Structure 1
Amino acid sequence: MTSLITQVKSKLFIRSTQKSMHALDGAYASLLRGRSLDFEDLRPYEYGDQVRDIDWRATAKQGEPLIKRTKATRMHTVLFLVDAGRGMKALAEDERPKRDLAVLIAGALGFLTVRHGDDFSMIYGDASRVRRLPPGGTEGALEHALRTISAAIDASDAPNDRDALLSYTARNISRHSIVVIVTDEAPMTADTDRLLRRLKVQHDVLWLTVRDAEIVVAGGRPGMFDRLVDPANAPGAGLTHRRDVDTGWAIPDFVHGDAEVMAELAAQEAADTAHRNDVLRRNEITHAEFGGQDAAVPTLLAMLNRRSHARL
C-alpha cells in the first residue's frame, strides 16, 4: 500500500522544477518561525521568502541572494484539529472523498512542519469521542497520524462535532501552538464563536474548510443540507441517487435541476458562508476553502502567503 506521506509529496512536488515546494517552504518559514535578534545562519534565497530577510551584505559578497535566519524565540508546535465524524465520509466538491482531501491538507502542512524541524500533534474525533495523538517530529510519526485519522473517519458512526474538538483544545492545551482546524461546511454555532475567541487568546489559529459536493445536479451548493453526498458516487458514477451520510435520507431524483430548490439551497449556503466568514474575520483567523485535491497546494500557498504578508 502506498504511504500517505508519499501521496502528499506527490502533490507538493508535482512540478518538475519544484517551485511549488520552494514557495511553500518560504511561506511556512515566514509564517511560523519565531523572530529574534540572535543570528543563526545564512541559507540561499528560495521563492516565497520575504525580501526583508535578505542579508544584503552577504548577498553582495557571495554573488547570490542569501537569507539571514535568526534563532526562534520559542519552539513551535502545530496542532491539527481534524473532524473525523461520519460527515467526512461524504464527497468533496471535486467528487472525491472529503476524507482524502482532509488528509492531504493536514499532511501537506504536517510535512512542512517536519521539514522545518517543528513538532506537530493531532486532535481528532466525532460526537462520541475526542482523542489526541502524542507530539511527533518525523515523517514516520506523521504517516502514523494520517493513517490514524483516515481509519477513524472510516470507522466513525457518529456525526461530526467540531465544537467538541475546540472545547477539548481550550481545556487541555495551554502551551502556545499554531492551531490548524480542518473541518467542513457545517454551520457555525454560538459555541463555535465563543470557543474560537477563547483559543485566540492563547494560540495562533488557522481554519481550513473542506467544501462539500453539490447536493443537486446543475447548480446549487450543499448549504443547509450539509455533507449530503453518498461516497458510493465515485467520479463518473452519476450524480443522482445521492443520500445524506448522517440521516440516510435519499435525495429524490425529481429534485435535481429544480430551480426553486437550487435557489433555496444557494441562499442558505450563502447565509452560512457569510456567517462563518464574519466569525472568522472578527476573530482575526486566517481561512482558506479547499474544493478538491488538484487545487489544494496552490490554495495552501495562497493562504500562507496571505497570512505571512499580513504580519509585515
Structure 2
Amino acid sequence: MIGRTPNEDPIRRKIESLGTSLSLPTVRKALGVLEGEHASGRRGGNDDVMDIHVYGPGDEARAIDWKASARLGRPMAAQRERRATSRVWLLLDVGREMTGACEGGEQAWQIAANALRMFAALSLRRSDDISLVFGDAASITRVPFHGGFSQFERTLDQALEREWAHERNIDALLEYARRIRDRDALIVLATDEHALGQRHVALIGRIARTHPVVLIDVATINPFVGHAGMTVVDGVRRRRVPSFLRDAASAEQVNVHRGFVAASLQRELARCGSRMIRGASSEAMFDEFVQLVSLATVSPAFNEIRSGGVR
C-alpha cells in the first residue's frame, strides 16, 4: 500500500470521502461521539445560532433551544457557531515493531497511518488544528500541520519515509500526551496490540481525565497461521517463523490470548472514558471507525461511504 496515491488506493478514496461527502453538522456530531461529554472552557451559549431545527435523532439534549421550543410548542435544537478552533493531536508509534505484518500483506504502521487519516478527514472538515507527533526510542518529533487534507496526506507520507531503525517508546509518547496543555484537545494514539501493558492503561486513564482519548489498536498477523503467498517475519529481528511451529493448536492459543487482552484493554479504557478502535487491516479499521462515528447520526452518507460508494 506504500507509495499509492488516494486515487489508486480504494481505502484512501473512502477516507477522503469522509471529509467531502458529509455535511458540517454531521461531521460535528460524528466527532462528538469520539470526544464525549468532555468539559469545555468555551461558553457555547454566547455563540451565534447558525440553524434551528426540530429536535430529532442524533441531536444532543444540550442543543435544545428552550426559548424557541416554548415559542413553537415543540422541542427545537440549535446549531451554534464554533468561534474557537479545536485541536487534534495525532500520535503515531513509529518504532520498528510497527513494521510487523498484518492480514492482507499490510504492515502495522500502514494501517495505523490510514486510521489517522480518517480522523484528519473529519477534523479538517471541522476546521480543527492538527498536530502530528511521531515517537520511537530515538526521538519524539512534532510536525505542526497547516492546510487541507491533500497536504495532510503529503505531510504524513513524507514523514513515514524512514528507516524504521529504532525500537518503540510508548512510555515517551504517553508522557508527551500527558503534557498537552489544551484540555479540550482530542488525543488519538496509534500503535499495535503488543505495545500496551496494564501500567500504560492506567496512564491513559489519567490522560483521559483531562482529554478525550482514542486508541488505535492494530492487530498484527497470527504467526502460527499459514498465509499463502506471505512470509511471516518477526517485526523486530526480521526472523522467519519456522514452518514446523505453525499448527492449529498454537494458532488458537494466540487468538484466544489476543482476544482476551483486547477485550480487557477495551473494558479498562471504557472505564476511564476512552475509546478504542481495533482492526487487522485498513478495511477493517475503516469499518470500525465508520460504525463508531455513525452512532451520532442517521446520515445516509455514512452507509454510502461504507459500501464503497465514493465519488
TM-score by length of 2: 0.73
Q: Report the secondary structure of 1:168's partner residue.
A: helix
Quickly say closer, same or farther: Cα 1:200–1:57, change in 2 above 3 A: closer
Going from structure 1 to structure 2, the CA distance change for 1:80 and 1:180 (only over 3 Å counts) comes to: same
Distance 2:201 2:275 in 1: 15
Match of 1:221 in 2: none
Aligned partner of 1:40 among 45, 49, 54: 49
Residues 237 and 21 of structure 1, relative CA distance in 2, 3 Å threshold: farther
Shift of 1:103: 1.6
Letter in 2 for 1:273: A
Asked whether 1:282 is paired with 2:289, we answer: no
Distance 1:5 1:56, change over 3 A: farther
Instruction: Give the corresponding residue for 1:84.
Output: 94
- Write the distance in 2 (CA, Å) between the matches of 1:164 and 1:120: 20
Question: What is the 5 A alignment of 1:1-312?
Answer: 3=5, 7=9, 10-12=13-15, 26-28=29-31, 36-37=44-45, 38-42=47-51, 49-50=58-59, 68-72=78-82, 74-152=84-162, 155-171=163-179, 173-176=180-183, 177-217=185-225, 237-238=229-230, 241-259=231-249, 261-306=250-295
**Cα deviation, residue 121, structure 1:** 0.6
Change (3 A) 1:264 1:29: closer
1:175 is paired with a residue of what secondary structure?
coil
- 3-state SS in 1 of match to 2:161: helix
- Could you report, residue by residue, the CA deviation over 1:125-181 in whole angstroms, capped at 9, with x for unpaired residues? 2122211112435335412431144224xx11122222221112223x211210011
1:24 Cα deviation from its structure 2 partner: 5.5
State how far apart, in whole Å, the 1-side matches of 2:129 and 2:256 are. Answer: 41
Given residue 39 of structure 1, which amino acid in structure 2 is its aligned partner?
D
67 and 87 in structure 1: CA distance in 2 versus 1, 3 angstrom threshold: farther
Contact 2:217 2:279 in 1 (8 A): yes
CA displacement at 1:122 relative to structure 2:
1.2
Q: Given the superposition, is the C-alpha separation of residues 82 and 201 from structure 1 closer, same or farther in structure 2, using an over 3 Å criterion?
A: same
TM-score (norm 1): 0.73
Q: Is the contact made by 1:178 and 1:205 (CA closer than 8 Å) also made in structure 2?
A: yes
Is the 1:35–1:72 Cα contact (8 Å) retained in structure 2? no
1:21 CA drift (Å) = 10
Structure 1: gaps of 5 or more residues: 59-65, 219-232
1-side partners of 2:44 and 2:21: how far apart? 30
Separation in 1, partners of 2:93, 2:7: 20
RMSD value, Cα? 3.9
1:281 maps to amino acid? A
SS in 2 for 1:174: coil
In structure 1, give the amino acid aligned to 2:209. Answer: V
Structure 2 gap segments, 5+ residues each? 69-75, 299-311
